Structure 1
Amino acid sequence: MSMDNGVTKQLKSEARGKMRALRAALSPKEHHALSQQICENFLHHFDRLTLRKGAIIGLFLPIGSEINASLLESPLRERGCELALPITIGTTGMLFRNWKHGCGLIDAGYGTKGPDVKAREVLPECLVMPLLAFDRGCNRLGHGAGHYDRYISERIIGGTRPVLVGLAFGLQQLDKVPVGEYDLPLDAIVTEREIFEPA
């Protein structure tokens, strides 16, 4: 979902190109080490959240040079969480399906994988989200298709807004992310160095 004006669209496009290049320049060793540290920091943050026992957590499997959030699978299952993965629908739609350990995964659109239609649809209470850029205000720049934006808006309208946490390499930080009218800040963004929360 996007209602950005021309200037905002151009600024977002330029930022996406720059951040993709910076992220892709990480060596496999750097990428793995940073992903591990980010996931460890996320777990410290997660343990402070007031979610119910057995909460449903929406994860993502990495596309290209995205952070390897699959490192969170075992620790979150050990904490008693139920996990889910996103499935894209059409050009901007998205839902989450229950992700059982060891279940087969299918093409979920845009290069990622998710559970097949036999897995039940769920509403995660916390979304762990990928991003291309962020700022200290927890504004997030995604890939531009608007899947997460639309999904979150629908959840807010339905009265079931999830906790929103982004995972990012520190190098993805901008002084100010270009935001449009309908862009919402996240509740936290976790990097290898620190955890950002809106003031």
Structure 2
Amino acid sequence: MSDSTALQHQRKALRRELRHRRRSLSKREQRLASLALCNQLRRLPEVQRARRIALYLPNDAEIDATPLLDWFQHRGAKTYLPVLRPLSDNRLWFVHYHSNTPMVSNRFGIREPDTRHGAHHARRLPAWALDLVLLPLVGFDEDGNRMGMGGGFYDRTFAFVRHRYPRPRLIGVSHDCQRVDSLPLAPWDVPLDAIVSDRRVIRP
């Protein structure tokens, strides 16, 4: 078995274990974790400054940052949701989201703005033009390394952050139970500016 194949097997097994951890949380634990996460995020300077913010609708027991939507709106910020970009190699669009946005379920069963709605340029924003992105994590470690779902959507979409400025601040969010001592890293993993859980803030 090659080193790269062994790494993929290791990451797949760990991803399965960490997803099980968050699914094991009760509804009450999920709700309390969401509130604690949002309290942590409200205190961060980059969150307070941001005016164009991407976040996600939780799926598969991901921690829920959507209670911040009203707070963002009150501050005059615009919020955007990721949409699977059609006819592309696992990349994302970011479409302006409000209460009247037409929604559909994508091929993974995740709710997102309708592709036909998001196809209009005026309704979406290039990834580089966002101020802040809150992205879900499957796992993280104390060094600020992250593990996503494995599809590479965020890694491909934000690969430019290594060499472009200005760029959005990337903050990974997660249940604290998804923390591990050390993660096996892949060369394509996009680095984050911070990781926030319901219990801690880590800045790599």
| TM norm structure 2 | 0.86
1:20 maps to 2:19? yes
Identity rate of aligned residues, in percent? 29
Aligned to 1:63: 59
Say if 1:5 and 1:140 are closer, same or farther in 2 by CA, change over 3 A.
same
Q: 1:184: how far off?
A: 2.5
CA distance in 2, matches of 1:170, 1:50: 20
Query: Contact conserved, 1:88 with 1:108, CA < 8 A, in 2?
Result: yes
Q: Which residue is equivalent to 1:77? A: 73
Tell whether the 8 Å contact from 1:83 to 1:98 is kept in structure 2 after alignment. yes
> RCO (CA 8 Å, sep 6+): is it higher in 1 or 2?
1
1:150 matches 2:156: yes
Which residue of 161, 179, 182 maps to 2:185? Answer: 179
Aligned-residue offset at 1:69: 1.8
Counterpart for residue 136 of structure 1: 142
Gaps of 5+ in 1: none
Q: Specify whether residues 56 and 18 from structure 1 end up closer, same or farther in structure 2 by C-alpha distance, changes over 3 A only.
A: same
The equivalent of 2:97 in structure 1 is 99
Shift of 1:157: 5.7
Superposition pairs of residues 35-74 of structure 1, within 5 angstroms? 35-45=34-44, 48-49=45-46, 55-74=51-70
1:155 Cα deviation after fit: 5.5
Distance 1:11 1:160 in 2: 35
- The unaligned stretches of length 5 or more in structure 2 are none
Distance 1:193 1:96, change over 3 A: same
Alignment partners' CA distance in 2, 1:96 and 1:156: 20
**Map of 1:112 onto structure 2:** 110
Q: CA deviation at 1:15?
A: 1.0
CA RMSD of aligned residues (A): 2.0
CA distance in 2, matches of 1:189, 1:56: 19
Deviation at 1:65, TM superposition (A): 0.3
**Cα distance in 1, alignment partners of residues 193 and 181 from structure 2:** 18
How many residues are paired up? 192
Distance in structure 1 (CA, Å) of the matches to 2:92 and 2:163: 15
Check the 8 A contact 2:141/2:180 in 1, yes or no: yes
Q: 1:52 to 1:22 in 2, by over 3 A?
A: closer
TM-score (structure 1 length as normaliser): 0.88
Which stretch has the larger CA shift, 79-88 or 150-159?
Answer: 150-159
Distance 1:44 1:108, change over 3 A: farther
In the other structure, the counterpart of 1:170 is: 176
- Does residue 122 of the first structure (1) align with residue 125 of the second (2)? yes
Check conservation: 2:137, 2:174, Cα contact below 8 A.
Answer: yes
- Cα displacement (A) at 1:129: 0.4
C-alpha contact (below 8 Å) 2:158/2:190 kept by paired residues? no
